Chain A
Amino acid sequence: MIGGATYGRLLRASASRWRVAEGRRRSSRSVFDRSMKKKQKEWAGSGRDTRKYDYLRDEVGSRVADRVYDVARTFPLALEIGAGRGHVAQHLSRDAVERLFVTDISEAALNVGGEMRWHALAADEEFLPFRENSFDLVLSSMSLHWVNDLPGALRQIQAVLKPDGVFIGAMAGGETLYQLRCSLQLAETEREGGFSPRVSPYTAVADLGNLLGQAGFNMLTVDTDEVQVYYPGIMEVMMDLQGMGESNCAWNRRSVLHRDTILAAAAVYKGASPCHAPRRHLKQAKAAKRGSATVSFGDLSKINRNGDDE
């Protein structure tokens, strides 16, 4: 465990920044209900078979960890935000990272495996309680797509990093869950005469590059990874998303999904020819000068999984 004095210093010194961040929140556009996201993660994290749903995060986490090793540095102090069970951290060793902090909005989810010694605290990705210029490395895997003020979160990450610090992250974006969205849209239209947003909005690859630049990062790498998971049907997709704590929490979501609509969507999903994912193009942003930050961008195109559940 970290010495008490150091830990306290990291937190106390950021108090004034915390107040500023609060003010910013009230004025920024709020797409997601963050307290609902916390609840969803806590429900998901408290289920007895919760680790069954780690497959996606573990896969993406290992890809992010690969990028850490690619940088070929030893980072004295690292931070993983939205860490959950430390999906990146569990793949790291002490020759990559010497000391590690992990945060997540949900305390229930926070329980890191692997060989690292880590210090955990519950914190919202949008309100990092750390002093500026503290960390050599910040990691984020599969959590930034639920953040309201993404530019703000990226700026905070940039701020807590040392001048030669590195940010490596992956988030869902682009055409993620296209089949699910499409099936629900068609079913809801045919059954109910209209449709509402069921799948949350995602950031486009091009926008992410701009946001990183505006947040003060340079030497950017933004690319797209496709992760395909095969499922027997729409219900398995939705149950797994829920089990991962990835249910929709956008304020504009309808609270009801009629059983008839689910049944209809299941049938459309099976056939799914209008909902086959469109062709994707791998995008690569040009890197600039010396290494100050790199980001890898995970794009989940379809989720299908061979459900061999109990």
Chain B
Amino acid sequence: MSGSNVWHRSREKLRRFPEFFAQCAEEAAAYGKCVAATTVSKQELKKDHCAKEFAALKTCFSNAAKKNCK
């Protein structure tokens, strides 16, 4: 969406999210699987339960974003 106010500008910034996210399908799947596992087991989902998987996802995502901003 284009427009002049902060609402439109923040939408512009987020517009490329799917593009970068698509490059991290593996890491995303691993994180998603980790979270999903807690919903079927008796385990309660706690903070940072999947921190390792998320860190990998975040690194991948940041790299994808950096690469594309060059």
Contacts and interface: CB of A to CB of B under 8 A. Distances in A.
A49 B11 CA distance: 13
B55 to A, nearest CB: 10
Contact of A239 (B15, B33, B45, B57): B15
Contacts of B14: 235, 239
Nearest to B24: A267
B11 A267 contact: no
Given A43-B5, A48-B3, A274-B39, A190 B32 contact: no
A239 B11 contact: yes
A267 B29 CA distance: 6
Contacts of A189: 45-47
Interface stretch (A93-101, A130-138, A258-266, A280-288): A258-266
Interface string B14-40: 110110010001011101110110011
Given A43-B3, A233-B18, A268 B29 contact: no
What DSSP secondary structure best describes chain B's contact surface?
helix
B18 to A, nearest CB: 5
A186 interface: yes
Nearest to A272: B32
A232 B2 CA distance: 22
Contact of A266 (B2, B11, B21): B21
Which of A232, A262, A268, A273 has most B Cβ within 10 Å? A268
28 contacts: A47-B2, A47-B8, A48-B1, A186-B39, A189-B45, A189-B47, A190-B50, A190-B54, A191-B47, A191-B48, A192-B47, A193-B46, A233-B21, A236-B18, A239-B15, A243-B11, A262-B17, A263-B57, A264-B54, A264-B57, A267-B27, A267-B35, A267-B57, A268-B31, A268-B32, A268-B36, A271-B35, A274-B35
The 6 closest A-B pairs by CB, nearest first: A271-B32, A193-B47, A274-B39, A47-B1, A267-B28, A267-B31
